[in-house]
Amino acid sequence: MTVFPICVILDAAMKLTHEALKKTLQERLLNRSRRMHSFRLEMDALLSAHVRYQDLEEALAKESHSASILIGLLGSDGVAETMNAAENVSDSDPSCLEQTLRERRPPEELRENLRLWRAIREIVRLCGESSVGEIQDSLVSLGMDNVTRQAVESALRQHKKEFSVSKRGRELYVDLK
């Protein structure tokens, strides 16, 4: 019988342990790599949905801001009339308008905080090129009784980047740039 010194036996056992450890680490690395690859594939698949979500979020913010301006322009009475009209139109869903109104401050508050130049921009956006007098009349007809011609002209001067103003005879005409 051959007798091996104890250090040779221990050395062989340590090599096996080191080899097993190395193999385990290699398997874990391969497993992690496969999982990371799977995550990347899933992330790539979701990327377009994420980008679309961000685009929709941005568009929603713009529409929400615009809705607040329209609510402010219409005021309480105009909003109430809009609700009645939505209920009487067959292809309209009043719950959409109700949700929009719930998400905003009251119409009176929106009107109070509505900047005149934004109101003018909405009128011109809807009506196209208009005279200062027509704009003033439109705002007064919506219940904004305190709007003067001078206030309209002042708002136009302060927001030259938004409006194109031309003079024909004695009347100023306004369009969007």
Position 10 pLDDT exceeds 80: no
Q: Where are the domains of the chain?
A: 54-114, 115-177
C-alpha to C-alpha distance for 119 and 159, rounded to whole angstroms: 12
Question: What tens digit of pLDDT does each residue of 96-123 get?
Answer: 888 999 999 999 999 999 999 999 999 9
Cβ neighbours of residue 63 closer than 8 Å, sequence gap 6 or more:
none
Report pLDDT for 138: 96
Cβ neighbours of residue 146 closer than 8 Å, sequence gap 6 or more:
none
C-alpha to C-alpha distance for 5 and 172, rounded to whole angstroms: 110
CATH no., domain 115-177 = 1.10.10.10
Strand partners, 45: none
Amino acid at 26: Q
Tell me the percentage of the chain whose pLDDT exceeds 70. 89
C-alpha to C-alpha distance for 145 and 5, rounded to whole angstroms: 108
Strand partners, 168: 171
Position 16 pLDDT exceeds 70: no
Q: What is the pTM of this model?
A: 0.73
